[in-house]
Chains A and B, each alone.
Chain A
Amino acid sequence: MAAAAGASEPPMVEQVITEFFAKSLHIILESRSPYDSSRNFTRPSPPSSPLSGSQPRDRWFNLALRDCPAALENFDLWRQSNLEPLVIDIVLLQRDSTKTTSAGAGRIIERWVIKYEANRSGNGSKNTGKKSRSSSAHDHSLYRRAYSGSTVLFRSLYLVVRLLPAYHLFQELNSSGRIRPLSLSHKISSFVEPFTRAEDADMKHYAFAPIETHSGLLSLSVSYAPVLEVAAAPEPTTPMATELIMDYVGSPTTDFLRKFNSLPSDGIAPACVAMTRRHSWSTEHGAGPSASPSHMPTNNSPTTYPHQHSTSSSGKKRDTVNEECYPSPPLSPSPSRSPSSHPRNPFFRYESAPLSIATARAGGGGTRLPPSPHRKDKQQCSFQNENLIHSPSDKSIVTNDLVRVGEVRNEKSLQKVLSFGKDDLVYFPGVKLARTSSKLFIMDELDEQELVFAWEDKDAIIDQLNRIDLSDRENPDSSQEAGGLLTRSPDAAIGILMRILKSAPGLRERLLTAPAAPVPQEPSSLQRVVTEEHGSGESSSAMVPSALLRSRTAADALEELNRYKEIRESILNRGKGHPRDTKMEEKPADGDP
């Protein structure tokens, strides 16, 4: 039939028919075969093969396209079939683990069928009235009709191949050079392999208006899958960090992390868990921070502690904390579980910057403790926002970021440490909590001074923190002397203490120079001495606890402690009948009017 149809057609129309098939194949394959696209073609392509006839193939039907090797190769093969139907199957292939694909497998997502159907009677029967005209004019008219009709059809074909769903997949595969699990392939045949009933039910059909020729009909149709079930998902460019940095946060099996699970925010760890920033503390070695005594700050000089390097960056981080704290509606705030089964809130920043106790400038009292971690996420964030009040350079900055907890070996001790209030947990602005073995190290990062205390009970820690607060309020500059105390290692602290003691004025001198003040006979002689010390502005009924509440530096506190020890010794010695101590004690009494 095809041969007969070809013979009845005028040569010009027959050429149009041949080029119709070629152009269809070209347009379809160049937008379905990756790397053969003439997308955004702006320059004329070189003349094609001699088989195209007088005009270059790419300019046929006034639609200039770049050469498509796949189309050319396949068309040369098809041309030998002498105008048989041209069936182009676009196949979606899925690569297996070996990255091999086979043309036989895969799913047909589009089927294009181009065919020429000859009329036995031929369209010439309609034109019987025109047979009297010259055949050349008649042929020219038929040629013009077929050619202009094909021109419009190929405009439509060029657009339709870009409106169908497979084009998006083609764009995706063609745009990136990465190896993807999906690929597009094509299969060309001259017969239509019928779809199964299920496949046919899923397919949609679209047929272009046929082009009438002298003796037949050129038709082009497509069956396509309206929905591509397997979409080429873009490969992630960066791997997502789903694991904790074990040496930073510590073992995920620590009770501290379990403690977070009990929080009402769906078991999501609060924003205080530091996970991202590498910390210099190495609790595994059983030592404190890596600073050695040589790195002790003396005159508020910046420390060389490695974890201090991002002081400025932590400020920047603080600025961005606000933004990241509020959950965005489209995202499901379901925490991703790391292998350590520690839930993470994607909306919280997990930083390594420590928290610090609210100082006087922040308006916090000595007994100020962080808010309850049972707050909701937003409240926690707002708490963080409230306390971001100063620039990073300000020493009185209160950083509310996080509490870093070192590796905990003693579970009970850590629980005691952390359960300062019943529900107040780990939010200690300006204080880093790190625990090595059975000791808890409290570090004040803001002043770049660190306190090392070995406490094992909660009350002692609270007292120490209160003293810090008091000393900071009263004498922030006197921390210089206390630099010796603000070290990590106990040995360094002792060394500094010795230095202070050596340089401190003698106890007698202080007592002699102290202003005489009437001291009522209080039940405790210790109280009298304390009253002498603070007689300038304090009332006689000033009790020891009120004195302790005043802002003091750690050095002052230690000094006072030492004095108390000496006084204690003196009292004890007095009881044993030391005349010297008795004189010292009675002197103020003699001074009474």
Chain B
Amino acid sequence: MPFSFLASDPTVRRNWSISLCPLCYIAPANGYAKYDCAAGILHTVFFHRTLSLVRPKDVDCKFLEITYVQCGLPELEKEIDEKIEQFIAWVEKHPNRRSQVCLSFFDEKSKNPGWFVNKTERIYWEQWFINLHVTSPKRESNSSKGLTNIGWNALVETSSRHAALESSINEVLFQIINFANEKKDHIPAIPDRIFNHEIMIPRDDSSSDSVFGWNTDVIRRVLNSGHPYSL
């Protein structure tokens, strides 16, 4: 996993960029699968990084046999749902495209406070890059086989893809658990509310590379924050 830190001084807050391995195939027509994958991952990250008082809420995936946990905070859940819907809409517009969702936690700090200017800068102390690749299934040609054969083969293929997706999501969730527990010294003091965060999803009006164009914004922001890090 490509993450590292530069500063050796333990007092310097380290910015972690954690990249999760790409997920396997998700049936594009299966809205539930896309929602389950995205929601399960995002809520799991937030659950590990929302250190204020939470009342956990178990959520059973509709498509996958996985139970993930939400923080039980209505505002956060609403925000995540909106982002997921936007992400799914983008995926449906751009099938077979690699996509990435970035979840960032930051602190806001006043920069060069003045009489008339009050700029704030964001200091990102943790970023999660979630890579997703939604592909279309290869449709079987309508051969002379009977309808039952095509249906049976499709069912078997769907079942195997379902199992593979479930296994992949399970693995990703365990990765999140590992990362969240291994590196926690950089986490700020426990606040009485949710940490400042932002969820970035691919946009249609990005630069040349519509999938990764927003990364330039992220890099620019990181460079301006004064805490360089490398992937």
Give A residues with C-beta under 8 Å from B: 39-44, 59, 62-65, 144-145, 147-149, 151-153, 155-156, 158-160, 162-163, 167-168, 171, 208-209, 327-330
Contact = CB atoms under 8 A, between A and B. Distances in A.
B55 A44 contact: yes
B173 A163 contact: yes
A329 B177 contact: no
Q: Which residue of A41, A144, A155, A167 has the most chain B CB atoms within 10 A of its CB atom?
A: A155
Q: Which residue of A40, A42, A156, A330 has the most chain B CB atoms within 10 A of its CB atom?
A: A156
Contact of A158 (B52, B69, B190): B69
A41 B71 CA distance: 11
B69 A64 contact: no
Interface stretch (B98-106, B109-117, B148-156): B148-156
Nearest to A330: B155
A310 B115 CA distance: 90
Interface of B: 44, 47-48, 51-58, 65-69, 72, 148-149, 151-152, 155, 170, 173-174, 177-178, 180-182, 184-185, 187, 189-190
18 contacts: A41-B56, A42-B55, A43-B55, A62-B190, A147-B190, A148-B51, A148-B184, A151-B51, A156-B48, A159-B177, A160-B174, A162-B68, A167-B67, A208-B181, A329-B149, A329-B151, A329-B152, A330-B155
Contacts of A159: 44, 47, 68-69, 173, 177
B58 A40 contact: yes
A152 B54 contact: no
Given A159-B47, A208-B181, A329-B149, A151 B190 contact: yes
A327 B151 CA distance: 11
Contact of B55 (A41, A148, A208, A329): A41
A40 B71 CA distance: 11
B180 A152 contact: yes
Q: What 8 A-B pairs are tightest by C-beta distance, nearest first?
A: A329-B152, A209-B181, A329-B148, A156-B177, A162-B67, A62-B53, A64-B55, A155-B48
Nearest to A149: B184
A145 B190 CA distance: 10
A156 B180 CA distance: 8
Contact of A62 (B54, B58, B185): B54
Given A152-B181, A152-B184, A156-B177, A62 B189 contact: no
Nearest to A208: B181
B54 A63 contact: yes
Contact of B69 (A162, A171, A209): A162
Nearest to B43: A159
Given A148-B184, A329-B151, A42 B57 contact: yes
A287 to B, nearest CB: 46
Contacts of A39: 58
B53 A64 contact: yes
A153 B181 contact: yes
Contacts of B170: 163
B152 to A, nearest CB: 4
A279 to B, nearest CB: 34
Nearest to A152: B184
Contacts of B53: 59, 62, 64
Contacts of A158: 47, 56, 69
Given A64-B55, A155-B48, A328-B148, 7 more contacts: A62-B54, A64-B56, A152-B181, A162-B67, A167-B67, A168-B65, A209-B178
B58 A162 contact: yes
Contacts of B55: 41-44, 64
B51 A152 contact: yes
B102 to A, nearest CB: 21
Q: Which residue of B47, B58, B174 has the most chain A CB atoms within 10 A of its CB atom?
A: B58
A215 to B, nearest CB: 19
